[in-house]
Chain A
């Protein structure tokens, strides 16, 4: 049996990035990580391995994200302009912030799906977390990538 400490060390950074992708707010993402691991702590003794432990933890985290009502208020109301072409070299931090901004413009479930995809989870696992079939997830990921790609190209990030 894996201990809580091992689980935390392994998954906390991943959960944090996914929550940050969803909320676009580091403090709120940290709160969601904490809420997730409170739930993991409480339910770990009863975890019956019906699903992989990673699926279980990501399900808890993404459900917490969906429940966080106040997240919606912090999302940008206007879309980022497509014609904004930046030619100067941006720092990693600026690129990351731009990625978060682009993700923040997506719908809630798309934010979750792309965050899990960028985290490197297999598409079958993403499907189990979200509750869709693999085919649907594949299509959704393709569409989201297209959207992000367009925004990054317009922003002068991709060649």
Chain B
């Protein structure tokens, strides 16, 4: 095209003088904290701490029934599984500092697949381990007081039912809608690079 220089000349007339100065930008970036990654770090630290706490409690506490140890072990395992999933996810994000648009699109697609896998498999596994563990763990402390036993298990059952049948499907639905929008856009962008 003969007129590319004209287009370039027009392109370079865009005003850029209202951009922050380098000093302002440094102030801005120093104040920024990666919300998403910070959340992941927090989940990792808290779930590891919880897992340690459960194991310590099992050793320090004067528990006699094997169900308590199995229950504690299952809860610790679910916390460890949650930590491991987030560590894996964090590692992927940290590796993403220098990639082309094509690689980036592949990364987003993989993230989407991982999210679906998490909701359909990992989350179910974590909740299942935690629920069974919780049920077993609670038995020993409350078994001698019928009222406590009934109250504790009813409370736990209601809480787990809300998590299983209301919170989890809602979260999944909300995220699924977001993921569907991303999928449609990704498909269209990926086609452009073929």
To the question of whether A and B form a pair in one complex, the answer is yes
* Complex A-B: 5 CB contacts under 8 Å: A8-B26, A99-B11, A108-B189, A130-B193, A146-B1
**With A8-B22, A13-B19, A72-B185 as given contacts, are A66 and B101 in contact (CB-CB < 8 Å)?**
yes
- Total residue contacts A-B, CB cutoff 8 A: 128
Contacts of B188 in A (CB 8 A): 107-108
Partner of A41, one of B4, B29, B182: B29
Stretch at the interface among B92-100, B113-121, B157-165: B92-100
Q: Are B22 and A9 in contact (CB under 8 A)?
A: yes
Partner of B97, one of A20, A38, A46, A112: A46
Inter-chain pairs besides A33-B19, A50-B98, A109-B192, 8 sampled, C-beta below 8 Å = A9-B22, A20-B14, A30-B18, A34-B29, A38-B32, A96-B10, A112-B101, A129-B100
Q: Are B3 and A130 in contact (CB under 8 A)?
A: no
Stretch at the interface among B56-64, B65-73, B102-110, B131-139: B102-110
Q: Does B171 contact A (CB under 8 A)?
A: no
Most buried by B among A63, A108, A129, A145: A63
**With A34-B28, A59-B98, A59-B101 as given contacts, are A16 and B192 in contact (CB-CB < 8 Å)?**
no
Q: Does A69 contact B (CB under 8 A)?
A: yes
Considering only CB atoms and an 8 Å cut-off, how many residues of chain B contact the other chain? 41
Q: Are B100 and A59 in contact (CB under 8 A)?
A: yes
**With A16-B19, A34-B25, A69-B185 as given contacts, are A63 and B97 in contact (CB-CB < 8 Å)?**
no
Bound: A20/B15 CA distance, A = 11
Query: What DSSP secondary structure best describes chain B's contact surface?
Result: helix
Bound: A50/B98 CA distance, A = 9
Q: Does B177 contact A (CB under 8 A)?
A: no
**With A12-B19, A38-B29 as given contacts, are A130 and B11 in contact (CB-CB < 8 Å)?**
no
Bound: A97/B64 CA distance, A = 77
Contacts of A132 in B (CB 8 A): 102, 193
Q: Does B144 contact A (CB under 8 A)?
A: no
Partner of A63, one of B12, B22, B101: B101
Q: Does A154 contact B (CB under 8 A)?
A: no
Q: Does B166 contact A (CB under 8 A)?
A: no
Q: Does B146 contact A (CB under 8 A)?
A: no
Q: Does B8 contact A (CB under 8 A)?
A: yes
Q: Are A13 and B192 in contact (CB under 8 A)?
A: no
Contacts of A99 in B (CB 8 A): 7, 10-11
Bound: A42/B18 CA distance, A = 24
